[in-house]
Structure 1
């Protein structure tokens, strides 16, 4: 069994999406689950004591009600002894979840998409932004509407791979996640076909070489994961990252893992430019992995 799963919960669609995904992750290896609701503290400028007390009582009650609602939703689907709840005040919900994860000993944080995006896609809001720039543990995001038609179980982990400084450490983190979920790994490289390439002499030759480079890189990465039972590789090509993602098959139960941006803070998740495009285009849950996760264990 791996460490505890922490899910950020609000009593709305995004909370239900995150809760369903967190349950699937916890069920994969019997991990315990903490449902957390972060509420805002009183405004720092002193006001009438009665008003501050009423406000604090209201938001505390809201948070307690939210996590109990989540517990009720899990009743009969997950053993009660594996579920606990946590509430806390913080001016940033993402930073509050990071602090809660540290207190709870969680090694994975799960959240839902911010409101306003299309069904089946992920929008990075303020909570996710704080997590992705500050979390020392992987962050898993559920697309909008995930709870409406969840898979029976998680079935595979696709790892968006491109060779870069520290990519071996990212592969190690992906390997640990795949082992935790007991799923096969697909190493995926996304090739963008620039619009200007069609007018360039020997444009197809350029793309052919890019494919050959990508295949070699994927083969080298797969060798680092040789201890895992099932590893496949794929090169997907399209007009931009979004087009390449659309040209991939995404079976039910699939997760997509992206590596930390190479300029992110040490030991923290950081959403780089390419990773950001992948997150927005992905039709499945996405895990953002910290750049130094797995340092101790290596990739084997």
Structure 2
């Protein structure tokens, strides 16, 4: 692991040839403005460049032609105009300075697949991060993926930033980076650790390495509940601490001046384990993809999916790298 990375290795790098690019998916009056608020929060941390997109999915297989095409183009022009007005207003209300706006700050995409449209838009924008919000009716401080977000969580070629419902975010931006280890195999995939360490280094904020040990869950191999008094729980605690110690050593080799803390989160289920820690308004979590996913893609396993349902701070998920 080395901090000499490409400009796209983290969305928080300062001093590169271009500012990090954030692509935000947002629909006026729909689920909420959490994705916009998260982009504004990152803009308080780094000199980012923001583009906001909205997708319109149609059912017909081919684009309309002739007179219908002209009517449709006129309608799309009108929709783009209204959307651009809404985006400028919501960015201003969120406190995003115009210096962070892309020249084409608002764009409506139309096609037959929302997931494909967003993936292509991220490629066209050369985005470093794709920001999505939680689905409608999600409880405050929680994240639930909608259909399109779920698809992105299994195939996005770039990192995803997940904005929980009505997040409480620090006015100073990011003040601490957390790297989450959900199981012993997380050490086999170093993307989240490298990403989190680089982000903390660039922003000069502390790095917290957290191993989660939820009790009361069913052990897949033994088919019984893993309780806090179980010998398996004690063994996991030892493994988790060892895993974090090794991760800290790797980080300190490359970032000797970085402040690194280790914590073990244990509690009843994922909710209890997560709530056993103190979370700050300036926290962000770096989470890795499953190594079982596709080459150079985000792939969220079932464990991570359960974890996300109980997290109240923003999460960045990196695509896994396969060799």
Structure 1 length normalisation: TM-score? 0.85
Partner of 1:89: 110
**How far apart in 2 are the matches of 1:154 and 1:64?**
33
Q: Which of 193, 207, 214 does residue 233 from structure 2 map onto?
A: 207
Q: Residues of 2 paired with 1:118 and 1:81: CA distance?
A: 33
RMSD of the TM alignment (CA)? 2.9
Return the offset for 1:235.
Answer: 0.7
Are 2:256 and 1:225 aligned? no
* 1:229, distance to aligned residue in structure 2 (A): 1.2
Residues 143 and 273 of structure 1, relative CA distance in 2, 3 Å threshold = same
Query: Deviation at 1:42?
Result: 6.1
Please name the residue that 1:298 is paired with: none
Comparing 188-197 with 98-107, greater Cα deviation is found at 188-197
- CA apart distance, 1:49: 5.6
Q: CA deviation at 1:258?
A: 1.7
Match 1:235 to one of 264, 279, 290: 264
Is residue 269 of structure 1 aligned with residue 298 of structure 2? yes
Q: Summarize the Cα distance change of 1:113–1:234 in structure 2 as closer, same or farther, 3 Å threshold.
A: same
What is the aligned counterpart of 2:274 among 229, 234, 245? 245
The C-alpha deviation readout for 1:181-233, integer Å capped at 9, x for no partner, is 54322111111223689999994443222211111110001111111612111
Contact 2:191 2:318 in 1 (8 A): no
Q: Hey, what does 1:185 align to over in structure 2? A: 207
Is this contact kept in 1: 2:23–2:51, CA < 8 A?
A: yes
Instruction: Indicate the SS of the match to 1:281.
Output: coil
Q: Deviations over 1:38-95 (max 9, x none)?
A: 2224622687965565455445533442233122232383332431223322323232
Are residue 21 (structure 1) and residue 38 (structure 2) matched?
Answer: yes
Q: Is the 8 A contact 1:9 1:66 kept in 2?
A: no
| Unaligned runs of at least 5 residues, structure 2 | 1-13
CA 1:110 to 1:183, structure 2 compared with 1: closer, same or farther past 3 Å?
A: farther
Deviations 1:92-147 (A, max 9, x none): 3232122111111111111110112211111111221222122111100111123x
Q: Give distance in 2, aligned partners of 1:292 and 1:52.
A: 43
User: Could you tell me which residue of structure 1 aligns to residue 3 of structure 2?
Assistant: none
Q: Larger helix proportion, structure 1 or 2?
A: 1
Say if 1:150 and 1:59 are closer, same or farther in 2 by CA, change over 3 A.
farther
1:111 and 2:157 matched: no
Higher alpha-carbon deviation: 84-93 or 197-206: 197-206
Distance 1:46 1:189 in 2: 50
Comparing 255-264 and 71-80, the one that deviates more: 71-80
**Shift in CA distance, 132/195, structure 1 to aligned 2, threshold 3 Å:** closer
Gaps of 5+ in 1: 296-300
Distance change in 2, residues 1:42/1:242 (3 Å)? same
> Counterpart of 1:194?
216
Q: Which residue of 1 aligns with 2:190?
A: 168
Q: How many residues align?
A: 292
Partner residue of 2:147 out of 126, 131, 156 = 126
Shift of the 199–100 alpha-carbon distance from structure 1 to 2, 3 Å rule, reads closer
